[in-house]
Amino acid sequence: MLAFVHSLNPLYSLSGLVIGALVGFTGVGGGSLMTPLLVLLFGIHPATAVGTDLLYAGLTKISGSAVHSLNGAVDWRITRRLASGSVPAAALTLIALSYFGRDSKSVSEVITTVLGVALILTAITLLFRAWLLRAVAETLDRLNDRQIAALTVLLGAILGVLVSISSVGAGAIGVTVLLMLYPKLPTVRIVGSDIAHAVPLTLIAGAGHWWIGSIDWALLVSLLIGSIPGIAVGSALASRVPDRVLRPVLASTLALVGGRLAF
């Protein structure tokens, strides 16, 4: 136990504090910020960074999901549709990663490339969400409930693959597409449903990475030590930060980091 305590790294905790505060400020998923930081700044193996971040995300989202559920802000129909696509997709993706070997060069290249693309997509959704919603509104309005359900399951499958490989996608990308598919639902229910879906997805994907040996427990605990107070501080101060200033800066940063990882 003492050896484990000595293995905790205060730099990781400081990073967790900063990332947690940014998540509280912006609402952007921690994976969009944490995973590239671990890979690019600290030189953590991509598979370990993704696996550890997934378990970290699952644990931190449980409380948020519980609050949304108690407030009646979760549409469990949407959550079930997403999970019916994401859970099998995540399982198949993790089996593939295990088969090819998490430490192989090809797997590391796939992870960093998918991570980069996911970050670029996240940046696009942050900058152009309103335009994207207007562009598809008329087309999607013609679809019936069965077609919407099928597209939701497909979205879940895509998120299952993206999240399992890169730990990114369940936040900004998922919410944006759900707003397109369910424009009549209040935004708070869309966000609550997305968070509720992210809990089983990230925990299952994180458990899968644990199974293939991609979890660094000292890193995980170090991040949690910093991020839990960081999220609280960021959430408390969020109303004081102009969204029109912070959102473009954050999106530009994600796009630059994503480009470096993807290309």
Report residue 233 as tokens: 């501080």
Q: pLDDT (tens digit, 9 = 90+) per residue, 91-114?
A: 999 998 888 876 677 778 888 888
What pLDDT band is residue 236 in, cutting at 50, 70 and 90? low
15's CB contacts (< 8 A; 6+ apart) are: 34, 37, 38, 41, 42, 223, 226
Provide mean pLDDT across the span 161-179. Answer: 83
Q: What pLDDT score was predicted for residue 71? A: 77
Nearest to 59 by CA among 251, 215, 257, 247: 215
Provide mean pLDDT across the span 189-194. Answer: 83
Q: Higher model confidence: residue 51 or residue 5?
A: 51
As a whole number of angstroms, the distance between CA 128 and CA 214 comes to 34
187's CB contacts (< 8 A; 6+ apart) are: 179
Nearest to 233 by CA among 37, 33, 23: 23
CB 90 within 8 A of CB 161: yes
As a whole number of angstroms, the distance between CA 152 and CA 74 comes to 15
Number of helices and strands (H, E) in the chain? 11, 0
Residue 24 has pLDDT above 80, yes or no: no
| Report field, pTM of the whole predicted structure over 0.95 | no
Residue 238 has pLDDT above 70, yes or no: no
As a whole number of angstroms, the distance between CA 110 and CA 152 comes to 25
As a whole number of angstroms, the distance between CA 231 and CA 62 comes to 14
Q: pLDDT (tens digit, 9 = 90+) per residue, 47-86?
A: 888 888 888 878 777 766 777 778 787 899 999 999 999 9
> DSSP label at 28?
-
Q: Which residue bears the tokens 């879940």?
A: 156
